[in-house]
Chain A
Amino acid sequence: MLRSFDVRSALLSLAILASILAVWQITTHVPDTGPVSVVLSQDQMGRLLDKNMSSEDIEFYTSQGVAFLQLEQIASLNLSREIIDAAGGIRALGISVPDENSAPAPGSLFPSPAKIGIELWATVTDPFYVAGTNDMGYGIQIGYSLLRVVIGYTLAALVAIPLGFLIGMSPLAYKALDPFIQVLKPISPLAWMPIALFTIGDSELSSLFVIFVCSLWPMLTNTAFGVASVRSDWVNVARTHELSTWRTALTVILPAAAPTIVTGMRISIGIAWLVIVAAEMLVGGTGIGYVVWNEWNGLRLDRMIVAILFIGVMGMLLDTAFARLQRAVAYVE
């Protein structure tokens, strides 16, 4: 019965996935005819001509799939196509234009699942290559993000759990610190970023700090709440057995509050993983968040979607690990 339920739900999931992919594939599939030429409006055409761009050049670039935004950039360089080609092409001048692997320009067509699948296969089969500072396997990039999360999160846990314990065991501390926690907790991680960058300076440390700050609150509040609401009967059991405060904390309060604490830890790791992507987008350099941003700038939507998939899967693995831990410390009253 239970098995057949599992099988049925798995089959249903696969069916849903298959139909999504099918629709996606059908709506986005384009035969491989090279870059799709960009069609400009009368107005855009006029603006480019005003900027002294020759109509042949416009025609050439649009047939290569260069969008209006980039065309404007090229026009503002005020260089003829010969000179640009001599300098190594427009890409060498730092203007991102599609190459043969690129998705069509934004606003036109989204990469098809097949295209993403090919990229995905390429990444999964070779996740750890290093070909340059901006060109590393997603395995390595995820590793960077994970490392940051682990460091920031562990530091947060080392502060939040003992502190939460103290707050939870002292009603006075609970009440006195509550307003601070309530105000600091809802501050968006990204709001901390400028403060961190300004005070700490170093961008790497700033990302760690932001992870730390954001993972702190759920663990702190859950630990404090869990400890404060341990049944007084259980504390009385510890008292009638003359356990020291230390042993009471470890053998009675910790296991009693563990489910609440681990729930806080699970919420925190989820937030930390959300935040690291955003932080890396802002700070740049390495990490899966930076990859997403970088691929977007290179208009490699297919690779960007692969990176996003990686983020999702990693987040799921982290959450599953904590779900296991939650089950391990759960008890039935």
Chain B
Amino acid sequence: MARSFLSIERLTQQFPDGAGGTMTVFENATFGVEKGEFVCILGHSGCGKSTIMNILAGLAEPTSGVVKMDGEHVSGPSLDRGVVFQNYSLLPWLTALKNVTFAVAARFPKWTKQQVIEHSTAFLEKVGLTGDAIHRKPSQLSGGMRQRVSIARAFANEPKLLLLDEPFGALDALTRGTIQDELINVWSQTEQTVFMITHDIDEAILLADRILLMTNGPLARVAESVEITIPRPRNRTEIVEHPNYYAIRNHLVQFLGQRSKELSGMSSDDIDQRPQSVHIDKTADLDIQADAMHENPRLRAISE
């Protein structure tokens, strides 16, 4: 197997359980992310998604195991890995624009002030923020606008890897939709690698190339890697008509509803815990079915 752009090797995280012992969040987790890929990770609350992300960001140290990006060990945070935090984490004393220029100036220290401002404004524009809104403080912006600033800040830095922790968790469905479109838009223009945590199955199917499924903790596992076999560009209204949509969706729902519990709590027995690849493609079946339907329509009814 070729080395991935981002490779997570035998990652283990333990925390004190509060009663003197230790609690293992996950053990020997091993998986990879390819360059330019958009990967979503789904799992129940408390299974360890944020823990994985904090390790990828370099904000936390794992108990054991390594993370390599481009073949190099990840240790400590870096400008190559941009983070969009769940609660936006904008600096409240700076305007929207200054929040972005703050980051851009850190990334490109040699740029002139003018260059920094132009670059920042361009990225704010990409997420639909223009005019006087960018000169307002976060407290004077709506939740959706804050999240856009946060995304613009991360993308403007052109990190090799973008990490998003439930970026749309606090937004209403309408705003969520708009910002999802903007996220995909910016991502497809820049071809960055994205690793995103979400709770929302439909959001994951719409955005991801691949979805990682985590079982419940403790001793959680990244159990499956489900390929999203729906071509891009995807559109939230048309995507549901794609033959693979419900097949994938049902698989995810079934995993989260049932198998995430059944598979949890198993010790790794010191073996690498690699996710099992799942490839669901009904389009091939459909072609066969279409042919079959032509000849013998009743067959389809039976097979359903």
A interface list, Cβ under 8 A from B? 233-234, 236-237, 239-243, 251-252, 255-256, 258, 329, 331-333
Contacts and interface: CB of A to CB of B under 8 A. Distances in A.
A241 B85 CA distance: 13
Contacts of A234: 89, 91
B106 A252 contact: no
Contacts of B137: 331-332
Nearest to A259: B93
Contacts of B107: 241
Contact of B106 (A242, A258, A333): A242
B93 A237 contact: no
Contact of B89 (A233, A242, A258): A233
Chief secondary structure at chain B's binding surface? loop
A240 B81 contact: yes
A41 to B, nearest CB: 69
Contacts of A252: 91
B82 A240 contact: yes
Nearest to B157: A241
B93 A256 contact: yes
10 contacts: A233-B85, A237-B89, A240-B57, A240-B77, A240-B81, A242-B78, A243-B106, A255-B93, A331-B139, A333-B139
Contacts of A333: 92, 139
Query: Can you list the 6 inter-chain pairs with the closest CB atoms, starting with the nearest?
Result: A332-B139, A331-B93, A241-B106, A233-B89, A239-B77, A240-B77
B79 interface: yes
A237 B91 contact: yes
Interface string B66-102: 0000000000111101110101010111000000001
A332 B87 CA distance: 15
B85 A239 contact: no
B93 A241 contact: no
Given A252-B91, A255-B91, A256-B91, 19 more contacts: A233-B85, A233-B89, A237-B89, A240-B57, A240-B58, A240-B59, A240-B78, A240-B81, A240-B82, A241-B102, A241-B107, A242-B106, A243-B106, A256-B93, A258-B93, A331-B93, A331-B137, A332-B139, A333-B139
A236 to B, nearest CB: 6
B189 to A, nearest CB: 22
Contacts of A332: 92, 137, 139
A240 B139 contact: no
B161 to A, nearest CB: 11
Contacts of B83: 236, 240
Contacts of A237: 85, 89, 91
A260 to B, nearest CB: 13
B122 interface: no
A140 to B, nearest CB: 41
A46 to B, nearest CB: 76
B93 A251 contact: no
B119 to A, nearest CB: 15
B92 A331 contact: yes
B240 interface: no
Interface in B166-195: none
A200 B92 CA distance: 46
Nearest to A255: B93
Nearest to B103: A241
A164 B130 CA distance: 40
Interface string B136-154: 0101000000000000000
Contacts of B102: 241, 251
A16 to B, nearest CB: 37
Contact of A242 (B77, B85, B139): B77
Nearest to B106: A241
A239 B93 contact: no
A325 to B, nearest CB: 14
